A and B are shown apart, each in its own frame.
Chain A
Amino acid sequence: GENVEQHPSTLSVQEGDSAVIKCTYSDSASNYFPWYKQELGKRPQLIIDIRSNVGEKKDQRIAVTLNKTAKHFSLHITETQPEDSAVYFCAAESNNDMRFGAGTRLTVKP
C-alpha cells in the first residue's frame, strides 16, 4: 500500500518568511495529492491539491509542486502570517485509497 512521509515534523518561521513542507510517497500509481490544514482543536480542511498531470499549482500565497519521477511533492507558503500557524498534512491517493503524512506543526512568530 501507499506510504507517505512528511518533513519536517515541526517548523518555526518569522512572520513574512517562507515555509516549505516536503512529502514523499511510495506508490507510483498515486495521482492525487491534497494538503490539509488543521488549526488547534479544529478539523482538517483542504487548502490546496494537485493532480499528477501538472507539476505546480498556485493559489495566492500557497503553492504546491509535484515531482512524479522522484515521487515527492512540496507545499510552499510565502509571506507567512501568524494565522498560518497550524498543523499541515499532506496526502497521496492511490487506487481510491488516501493516506496521510504524519503532519508538520508550523509556527509563525510575529
Chain B
Amino acid sequence: GAGVSQSPSNKVTEKGKDVELRCDPISGHTALYWYRQSLGQGLEFLIYFQGNSAPDKSGLPSDRFSAERTGGSVSTLTIQRTQQEDSAVYLCASSLATGTYEQYFGPGTRLTVT
C-alpha cells in the first residue's frame, strides 16, 4: 500500500522567503510527526498531531515555524522568512496513534536556503 509521501522532494529558496512543505500520511494513521534532520545529525522533533487534538508544538525552534493538519490527514509545515540555518531535510512520519506505535517515515524534503 501507499506509504507516507512528502512534497516537494527538494526545495531551494532564497533567504527571507516563505516555504511550505507537504506531508501525506498513511491512510488511517491518526498521528503525524514532523522532524528536522541537519546534515549528518540526528532527528530533531518539531511538532506532532494526534487526531483532532491540539498539536504539541514544543519542538518548533522559533515562531517562524508553524504547521497545520487539515481534516486530520494532510499536513503542511510552513517556514516564514527562511534563514540559512533552516537548511536541512524535513521528515514527516505517521503512526496509527501516538505512543507505542511504529512511526513510518516519508522520504523527506531537502530544503536549501541560499
Q: Which A residues are within 8 Å of any B CB, using their own CB?
A: 1, 6, 31-32, 34, 42-46, 49, 51, 89, 93, 96-103
Contact = CB atoms under 8 A, between A and B. Distances in A.
B58 interface: yes
Interface string B64-106: 0000000000000000000000000001000000111011011
A96 to B, nearest CB: 4
Contacts of B103: 34, 46, 98
A102 B99 contact: no
Nearest to A104: B42
Interface of B: 33, 35, 41-43, 45, 48, 50, 56, 58, 91, 98-100, 102-103, 105-108
Nearest to B91: A43
Given A96-B50, A97-B56, A46 B42 contact: no
B102 A96 contact: no
Contacts of B42: 6, 89, 100-103
